Amino acid sequence: MARKLPYHLLDVFTDRRFCGNPLAVVEGADELTATEMQAIAREFNLSETVFLQSPQDPVNSARARIFTPQKELPFAGHPTIGAAALLAETRAGDILARSDVVIVLEEEIGALRCEALRGRNGVTYAQTALPAAPRKIGESPAREALAAALSLTPGEIGFGAHVPTIYSAGAPFLFVPLQSREALDRARRGPTFADAVGEAIGAFLYTHDTVDFANAIHARMYAHGLGIDEDPATGSAAAAFAGVAHEFERPDDGEHELFIEQGYAMGRPSRITLRMTVENGALAVVAIGGQVVRVGEGALRL
């Protein structure tokens, strides 16, 4: 007899259906093997699929395992935000209607405390703080090598104090600042892209030339080794970007909020909220958040 597992389809980092980053959330996944989860993720063929299992610590809400079509990840932003919003709606909808709901997800990088709230527009917003500040990893390739890898010229790379760098908040990204949105829209993978990205799971291209003046940066993320080409909203990269912003913008002590727009080139405009608290010149708290809309649900037959 076939097993049936419920799943939900969500759009994350948006308040509109068919925008943002699509996500599949599979519930009741305790008995699934890693091989089965990987096969299901390939079947959905989204940038990530999250599988919810019983928590190892019963005080927490769930254990979350995150798979791209090609590999498992220790942390990813839009699965975390999407799963937290979904659990708040399905397990505590009455409470969510009048106050915030706390969801704790066990992931490989640690237990993530997520807060969900219902916005004035009726859309659920969720955010999570990272267990540790982003860390810088190694050295990025030379500007000339990056230009060749992205089909650009060396002069189009870098602006202000920003230069290419590699940061990780659970998953490493190569951050490439570009002079303009026109250059970012024109960027393409060159034959040396894989060599330039190296061990990072993607190249996060960004510019201050935004579509919406209220946003701080406009970005694209070309994935590497994940089974997808481009991601419409990358929460783990946004979390790691806190390290980039702290290094090159030198924010004063206190709380800071910036918005990252992404996905426009894919026809899936997205908005990620990045919050940073700086104490004594160091990053003390980093949190990401965004809105989540439910698109559909069904059952897997296994």
> How many Å apart are CA 262 and CA 268, to the nearest integer?
8
Q: Are strands 110-118 and 124-129 parallel, antiparallel or unpaired?
A: antiparallel
> How many Å apart are CA 45 and CA 258, to the nearest integer?
30
DSSP state of 159: B
Query: Is the domain defined by 135-290 classed in CATH 3.10.310.10?
Result: yes
Output the pTM of the full model: 0.97
The per-residue pLDDT for range 276-297, each reduced to its tens digit, is 999 999 999 999 999 999 999 9
Topology of the domain comprising 4-130+291-301: Diaminopimelate Epimerase; Chain A, domain 1 (3.10.310)
Tell me, yes or no, if the two domains 4-130+291-301 and 135-290 fold the same way: yes
Q: What percent of the chain has pLDDT over 70?
A: 100
The per-residue pLDDT for range 162-186, each reduced to its tens digit, is 999 999 999 999 999 999 999 999 9
β partners of residue 52 = 64
pLDDT score, position 158: 97
What residues are labeled active site?
48
- pLDDT tier at 2 (50, 70, 90 boundaries)? confident
Q: Is 133 left (phi over 0), alpha (psi -120 to 50) or beta?
A: beta
Instruction: Write phi, then psi, for 191 (nearest 5 degrees).
Output: -65, -20
pLDDT score, position 1: 56
- pLDDT tier at 3 (50, 70, 90 boundaries)? confident
> How many Å apart are CA 300 and CA 176, to the nearest integer?
39
The per-residue pLDDT for range 132-156, each reduced to its tens digit, is 999 999 999 999 999 999 999 999 9
Q: Shortest CA distance to 151 belongs to which of 177, 99, 185, 186?
A: 186
pLDDT (average), residues 22-48: 98
Q: What percent of the chain has pLDDT over 90?
A: 98
pLDDT (average), residues 92-96: 95
pLDDT (average), residues 127-133: 95
Q: Where are the domains of the chain?
A: 4-130+291-301, 135-290
